[in-house]
Each structure stands twice: as structure tokens, then as C-alpha cells.
Amino acid sequence: MGARERLIVGLDVPTVDEAERMVSRLGDSVSFYKIGYQLAFAGGLSFARELAADGKQIFLDMKLLDIDNTVAKGVENIAKMGMSMLTLHAYPKAMRAAVEAANGSGLCLLGVTVLTSMDNHDLEEAGYPGDAQALVKRRAEQAVEAGMGGIVCSAAEATLVRNIIGPDKALVTPGIRPAGAAADDQKRVMTPALAIAAGASHLVVARPVIRSEDPKAAADGIVSEIESAVAAN
């Protein structure tokens, strides 16, 4: 896997028109895109199909969680869309249902452990005992048991998770911020080089690229940093 395939740019924009313009500006600098709630609910699912048909890889960040049958039927349809990755919350029953539904499709299912916008206080407020690292560890173990394709977690827990899931599964880290970039609403962030060194296979970057005055240069800079980090590790 090349360095460019490790960078996933989040198309966190309000309209498909804006997303189309961003993809055009980025050109060949980016081969992998994330589409989440904001764009999905503005026509982004059809756009995701178009990007996939054009040869782009798509990380559909839907964070599914529902009764088993509903999760399974959703995953079956998403697998038909040509998506590369799909997220769901790492609850054991939901993961098992999703894995069975995606069997043979090539869709990589990713278990979301703890959102990078949450810290220990947020988890306590939500009713989870212990700290973020302990919950990430448990969710990662359960994802492996369920047969998931990988994990989404903060780069701060990447080394811990890599040791649990082994060398071959995907480890996707959002909350990536190049040196000097604002953290925004993320609470557990890391630079691209440090995330790769910690064991991440893919880095999700949105605002530092799409809000840059020169998105293409920003993406190329991150890819260059990934290349150097992979060579050093």
C-alpha cells in the first residue's frame, strides 16, 4: 500500500457541489475519501457511488448501530455500492451481524471504539466506567473476536490497538493534525508521522486539507510526511 492510499481526506462539506469542487482541486493527490453524515444527508451517498465508479476508494463513515437485522440489511446494501470501508460502533452483536452480512463482499468493516472528540470525563458522563484506553482495549478485542476488518481509534491508542489486532488489519486514526494545525473540537490528536509510527495504517484528515488555502499542497505535504514515516519504521 502506497503512502497516498494511506491518506483518507474527509469530505466534511455541506453540499455535493462543494465536495465535487474539492475533489477536482485535489485531483490525483488524493485517492481515498471519507463521506460522513453531513454530506451523506445532502446527496452524498449517490456521490460516493460516483467516486467509487471513477476509481476512488470510499470510507463511508456511518457508525451504524441498531438491532442485528437492521445492521445486516444496511451492510448488505452498502456492500453493493462499491465502498471500501464502513464504520459501525464496536458493539459485539452489531459487529457479528455486520461481518456475516459483508462476507465475501470485500467491504472492510471498521469498529469505532471511542470517538476522538471524547475524553475520560465525556465517557464518565455517558455512563462508561474506567478510562478511554480501557474501553478502546475492550472494544478492539471484541472486534477481533467478531472478525472485523479493522478498528477506528485515536492515534493515542494506536500502539495498544495494533498489539491487539495484529499487523494485517486496518487501523484508521482520525484526529490527525499536522504540526501547527488547530485541534478544533478534537481532544486526542497526533501528527501524521507519529500516528504512522504508532501503528496506524490509514489517517483521516479533513479540516487541515479542505480548509487550506491550497488543499492539494496540504494533501501532498501529508503524503510526504507519511512516506518519510513509513520509511523510518
Round the CA-based radius of gyration of the chain to a whole number and report it. Answer: 17
Q: Catalytic residue at 56? A: no
The response to whether 207 counts as a known ligand-binding position is yes
The response to whether 61 counts as a known ligand-binding position is yes
CA-to-CA separations, 38 to 19, 44, 228, in angstroms, rounded: 11, 8, 33
The response to whether 163 counts as a known ligand-binding position is no
Are the C-beta atoms of residues 85 and 59 closer than 8 Å to each other? yes
The response to whether 64 counts as a known ligand-binding position is yes
The response to whether 68 counts as a known ligand-binding position is yes
The response to whether 73 counts as a known ligand-binding position is no
The response to whether 87 counts as a known ligand-binding position is no
Are the C-beta atoms of residues 95 and 111 closer than 8 Å to each other? yes
The response to whether 67 counts as a known ligand-binding position is yes
The response to whether 81 counts as a known ligand-binding position is no
Residues 56, 63, 93, 137: which is the catalytic one? 63
The response to whether 62 counts as a known ligand-binding position is yes
The response to whether 56 counts as a known ligand-binding position is no
Binding region for substrate? 12, 34, 61-70, 116, 177, 186, 207
As annotated, the active-site residues are: 63
Annotated binding site: 12, 34, 61-70, 116, 177, 186, 207
